[in-house]
Structure 1
Amino acid sequence: MDDPTPLEALQARHRKEQRDLVARSTQKKKSATKKTRKGVNDECERLEQELKERQAQELAELNGETTEDAPADPLEPADEVEANGLEADVEKLSLATSQPDAPAQPPSEQPAGPKKKQNRAKARLARRAAEQEALIAQAEEEAANMPDQREVEREQMKSHFGKYGLQEKEIRADGHCLYAAIADQMETSGLGLKPRIEPKIHEEQGLPVYKTVRHAAADFIEGNPDDFVPFMEEPINQYLQKIRNTGEWGGHMELLALAKTYGVRINVLHGDGRVDKIEPEGNPADAKEIWLGYYKHNFGLGEHYNSLRKTP
């Protein structure tokens, strides 16, 4: 098979970029919440416009043209573009394609005056724009038929609850979800929020309980820096400040610190049925257990933890 020409290779890449963008935009819109929907839609429109402009520029450069001032065909003089611009050319092209056998108007019915000759370079751009729109429509249809990852993950998670005797307690989807889920588990299981290193704040001060858990994690990391600093990408003081005083999400290091300071085994259930076990200090076989549910796709902010309580 002959190697593709530069134009064919460029068009193939453009088609793939268009399909990828539509698939990515569709998934973003499916995952959006009421609060984030407008921002997601604006972002998708911006990305689509940027892709169109870049691809048009690449096609023009390949043909030795520019999108602002495409040269006329050498055999015909350049004419002024009509007010409707590229959209009018696309519409004319679509009509001509859909009615190939339509008879020409009788001479008596044709409008009077000289007929303008179309700029062939602009006609090529119009044809490519029409092809691009068709590819986008096809990619949107393919993306619409893709499974909803949020719903799939939700159903998968529910299917595992019975196996472990669990029921889900929804936790607010914000940056505090890991700590709030831990607090719910410690309280409802009767274990209480009593870490090995007494936190510098107390819930009696009127602060939400997740704040106590945040400080418990930060204090344990601060007291055992050698176990955590090698995995940090920033100075430990900045890292601890984020845990204590911001809505920074928690992850594996914070789970490890909390398992050790509270002396509990933290089981994290995933949608695929996998259970990550974060062990307490010394890995005692008789350690108390608490359960969290980890979601990757199901909430607008991204990764999320819910509390999984034992069924009565």
Structure 2
Amino acid sequence: MLKLVTASEKKRQKEVQREKEIAAQEVENQFLPRAVEERELYEILAKLGLAVYEVPSDGNCMYKAMEHQLGLFGVMKSMSELRQETANYMLSHAEEFLPFLTSKKSGDMMTTEEYEEYCAEVSSTTTWGGQLELKALSHACKVPITVVQAYGPSIEIGTEYNCKPMLLSYHRCLYEMGEHYNSLVPNEGKVDEDPASLEA
């Protein structure tokens, strides 16, 4: 005897199969670099009493995270202003930055002209910022910056400034496009531990 499968039974079978596929994918996803990094970072942040305040991933994330951090202390500077201040500081202190930047044309250290073009891009485009730009930003704003990351110790920049550090998180694997910065905020209450003291 041939058993007829009704439309509702077919639909239910498809739903069950889809749920199995989703569950299998979720198990697989927990071992992806993004998930592993996220777990590690959130464990560190929990110990510090901090939480991630997400900023858009648009090439301006480092500057937007700093804009948010400064705003928490009543300093209102736009992302555009922070980019300009970073570029200006880098231009006026080329000897601190130029040796660490490589020419795309030659593979050697950038020429002065290339460096000036680089700084112009920092100020006027969505070029991603990194540790060099964070250093310039720390000095331009005269504030320390602590970057908490999942792998390795927290990075401290501008430790010569005697005020509370701006707190950022660094994510290597959060987005497929590349690295990302977010701002950090207290997680439901007072932060008891100095984030600069944490060794991952």
Per the normalisation by structure 2, the TM-score is: 0.69
Query: Which residue, out of 119, 123, 127, partners 1:248?
Result: 127
Q: 1:150 Cα deviation (Å)? A: 0.8
The residue aligned with 1:41 is none
Aligned letter for 1:230? P
Relative distance call for 1:246 and 1:276 in structure 2 (3 A) is: same
> Per-residue displacement from partner, 1:38-59 (whole Å, max 9, x unpaired)?
xxxxxxxxxxxxxxxxxxxxxx
The residue aligned with 1:304 is 180
Greater RCO, 1 or 2 (C-alpha within 8 Å, sep 6+): 2
Q: 1:300 Cα deviation (Å)? A: 2.5
Give the paired residue count: 151
The residue aligned with 2:167 is 291
**1:88-167 aligned within 5 A:** 147-167=31-51
Q: 1:146 Cα deviation (Å)? A: 8.8
> Per-residue displacement from partner, 1:65-97 (whole Å, max 9, x unpaired)?
xxxxxxxxxxxxxxxxxxxxxxxxxxxxxxxxx
Contact persistence 1:185–1:291 (CA under 8 A): yes
CA distance in 2, matches of 1:271, 1:238: 33
Aligned letter for 2:96? D
CA distance in 2, matches of 1:185, 1:310: 12
Aligned letter for 2:83? R
Contact persistence 1:295–1:305 (CA under 8 A): yes
- SS where residue 155 of structure 2 aligns? strand
CA distance in 2, matches of 1:145, 1:165: 27
The residue aligned with 1:262 is 141
Aligned letter for 1:164? L
Residue 186 in structure 1 maps to residue 70 in structure 2: yes
Q: Where in structure 1 are there 5+ consecutive unaligned residues?
A: 1-143, 194-208
- SS where residue 179 of structure 2 aligns? strand
Deviating 4+ runs (over 3 angstroms): none
CA distance in 1, matches of 2:145, 2:29: 37
Relative distance call for 1:227 and 1:309 in structure 2 (3 A) is: same
Larger Rg, first or second structure (1 or 2): 1
Q: 1:191 Cα deviation (Å)? A: 3.8
Contact persistence 2:61–2:181 (CA under 8 A): yes
| Structure 1 or 2: more helix by fraction | 1
- SS where residue 157 of structure 1 aligns? helix
CA distance in 2, matches of 1:294, 1:272: 10
Aligned letter for 2:149? H
Contact persistence 1:267–1:277 (CA under 8 A): yes
CA distance in 2, matches of 1:146, 1:168: 20
Contact persistence 1:157–1:273 (CA under 8 A): no
The residue aligned with 2:17 is none
Contact persistence 1:263–1:287 (CA under 8 A): no
Query: Which residue, out of 56, 59, 64, partners 1:175?
Result: 59
Q: 1:219 Cα deviation (Å)? A: 0.8
CA distance in 1, matches of 2:83, 2:46: 30
| Structure 1 or 2: more strand by fraction | 2
Identity %: 29
